[in-house]
Amino acid sequence: MSGNMNLTLKVWRQKNKDSKGLLETYNVKNISPDMSFLEMFDVLNEELITKGEEPIAFDHDCREGICGMCSMYINGRPHGPKRGVTTCQLHMRSFKDGDTIVVEPWRATAFPVIKDLSVDRSAFDRIIASGGFVSVNTGNARDANNIPIPKDDADTAFDAAACIGCGACVAACKNASAMLFVSAKVSQLALLPQGQPERYMRVQSMVGQMDEEGFGNCTNTGACEAECPKGISLSNIARMNRDYIAAGLGSE
Amino acid sequence: MSSFTKMFSSSIGNKILVALTGLFLCSFLIIHVSGNLQLFYHDNGMAFNTYTVFMTTNPLIKTVSYILYVSILFHAFKGLHLAYKNKKARPVSYAVTNASANSHWTSRNMGVLGTILLVFIVVHMSDFWYEYKFGHLPFVKYEKNLTTGEITSSPFQGQISGKQEQYVVEAENKEVTIVKDLYAEVQEEFKNPLMVALYVIAMAAVSFHLFHGFKSGFQTLGLNHKKYNGIIRFLALYVFAIIIPVTFAAMPVYFFLK
Ligand code: SF4
Ligand code: FES
C-alpha cells in the first residue's frame, strides 16, 4: 500500500530485573500510518514469534489513553514526540518512512525493569495506599450537590484526578522525581471538602512514602508537566508543597 | 522525630531549605550590586572604601553576613548532595534523550552552574574578603577641604592606632579620612585579563542560575499563583538574569579598560 513505511527500531531488550539489557535493532516493513505505535509493536512481535524468537514484552491494557500502562520512552521522550498523548494513542503518521526509532523503558530506581520495556510501577500503588482513607459516610448514596463545592475547586480537583498514574512524569524528569504524580493525588482530595479531615496527615504520609521509594528530588524543570499525557499542572506541586509546609509547621 | 526534623529531612523539606537560602542569596545580591556601584564614582575610591568600612564593622551587617556565609555553604553543599541523590534515582541512563523538548537547559544544569559559582565565590572571597580582613592592604588618606569641598587622596604610610580601619580627623578646615584601600586592590585585580574573563564567565553563570533559581524557589515554597507568577518571571528575567549580572560584569570590564 502506498504511504506505508519501513522503519528501523532500536528496542531495549532485557531478560529480567537483574540482567543487563541492551538495544536490539529490528527492521519493520510496510507499517501503515494509521496504526498506533503499539499496533506496530504487535506486528513486530507476530514476526518475532513466527521466527521462533522471544517477543518484546511491553505493558498495555486499555489502548485508549486511560489506563496508563503503555510506558515507552520513544526517541528520548516518554510516550513519543507528541504532547498530551499516551503511547497507545500515538500514531505511526507521526513518523516518516525510513526513520530510526529508539524505544526504551522508563528508567528510575523506583521503577525497576521487569522485562524489556515493562517496568514495575507498584511504587505508585504504595504511595496511593499510604494516603490512607477518606472519611465519608457510608450508607445510602447521597443526593447530588448535597455538599456544596465551588465550581472552580471542583474543576481543579477534577483536572488533578485526570492523572492516570502512567509514570511519564518520572520518566521525563532528569531527577526521576515523582512529584507531579504525588501532587496530583494529593490535590484531588485536598481541594474537596471530603478530603479535609485527613488532608495534612495524607500529604505527610504520601511524601514520606515517595521518598522511601527512591524517587529523586524535584528541581522544578517542568519536564513532567510538558510530557504528562493528561496535562497535570505544576501548580499541583506548589499546592502539595504548601500543604506539606503547613502540615510540618502545624502538626504536633 | 519531631515534626520539624521530619519535615526538613524529607525531600520537600530539603528543597525548602535550598529555596530559602537561595532566595536570601538573591536578596543579598541586590545589596551587593547597589553598594558596588560606588566603584564607578570618580573619587579615587573614597565612597567605596568608607562604605567597605561600614559593611565590615556595623554589628547588624556583620551578623547578617555570617548568616550569609552559612547560607552559601549550606545552599551549595545541600544542592550538590541532592544532585548526587538524583543521579542515584536513575542508575541506568537513557540511550537517547530529547530534554530540550520539555524543559529549559538552565533548569537542567543548576548543579554545573552552581559549581562554577562556588569556585568563583572561593576565588572572589580570597581575593577581596580575605585580603581585606587578613591581608596587608595599604591605607589611603583622603583630605577634604571643607570650604571648597575638594578631595585629594594620597597613600598613607604611617601606622594607625589599633585595628581601626577608618580614621577621621578634622583639622584646620580639613577633614582627613584614613582607610584601607580596597579600591586599589580592585583596580589591581582587574588589570589581569584572566581575572576579568573569570568574572564575566561567572556572571553569565549567575544569570543562568538565577533565571531558573529565582522562579524555582517560589515554586518550591508553594508560591505559585496566577496573579503573581507574571511578576516573579519578570523579576527572574530582567532583574536577576539581566540587570544584576550585567552590572556586576561591567565592574571588572570598567577597571580593565580604565
Ligand atoms: S502526573 Fe501525568 S505523567 Fe505523571 S503519572 Fe499522572 S498522568 Fe502520568
Ligand atoms: S494502553 Fe492504556 S493508556 Fe495506553
How many angstroms separate the alpha carbon of residue A85 from the centre of ligand 2?
A: 10
Q: Is the CB of A164 within 6 Å of ligand 1?
A: yes
pLDDT band at A147 (very low <50, low <70, confident <90, very high): confident
Q: Which of A181-195, A223-237, B46-60, B167-181 has the weakest average pLDDT?
A: B167-181
Say whether both B249 and B230 belong to one domain: yes
Q: Which CATH number is A5-114 given?
A: 3.10.20.30
Q: How far is residue B145's CA from residue B177's CA, in Å, rounded to a whole number? A: 12
Q: Is the ipTM of this complex over 0.90?
A: yes
Looking at residue B135, what is its pLDDT? 86
Q: How far is residue B235's CA from residue B244's CA, in Å, rounded to a whole number? A: 11
- The percent of residues in chain A predicted with pLDDT above 90, rounded, is 90
DSSP conformation letters of A136-161: ---SSPPPTTSS---HHHHHHHHHHH
Report the domain count for chain B. Answer: 2
Q: A235 to chain B nearest CA, in Å?
A: 6
Say whether both B108 and B144 belong to one domain: no
Q: How far is residue B208's CA from residue B154's CA, in Å, rounded to a whole number? A: 41
Segments in chain B below pLDDT 50: none
Cell triple for A113: 525493569
State the architecture of A121-250 in CATH terms: Orthogonal Bundle (1.10)
Looking at residue B163, what is its pLDDT? 65
pTM of the model: 0.94
Q: B68-100, pLDDT tens digit by residue?
A: 999 999 999 999 999 999 999 999 999 999 999
Looking at residue A116, what is its pLDDT? 97
Say whether both B11 and B83 belong to one domain: yes
Looking at residue B1, what is its pLDDT? 57
**To test ligand 1's pocket by mutation, which of A169, A218, A236 has the most ligand atoms within 8 angstroms of CB?**
A169
User: Are B3 and A219 a contacting pair at CB < 8 A?
Assistant: no
User: Are A216 and B103 a contacting pair at CB < 8 A?
Assistant: no
Mean pLDDT score, A43-64:
97
Q: Give the number of A-B residue pairs with CB atoms closer than 8 Å.
A: 145
User: From the candidates A241, A242, A243, A252, which should be mutated to test the interface with B, based on the most B CB atoms within 10 A?
Assistant: A241
Cell triple for A90: 500515538
Looking at residue B4, what is its pLDDT? 80
pLDDT band at A252 (very low <50, low <70, confident <90, very high): low
When CB atoms are compared, the residue of B94, B107, B222 closest to A104 is B94
pLDDT band at A250 (very low <50, low <70, confident <90, very high): confident
Q: A119-141, pLDDT tens digit by residue?
A: 999 999 999 999 998 887 778 88
Say whether both B125 and B252 belong to one domain: yes
How many angstroms separate the alpha carbon of residue A84 from the centre of ligand 2?
A: 13
Looking at residue B172, what is its pLDDT? 81
Mean pLDDT score, A237-249:
96
How many angstroms separate the alpha carbon of residue A181 from the centre of ligand 1?
A: 5
- Domain extent, residue B160, equals 138-180
Q: Is the CB of A168 within 6 Å of ligand 1?
A: yes
Domain boundary among the residues B146, B163, B180 is at B180
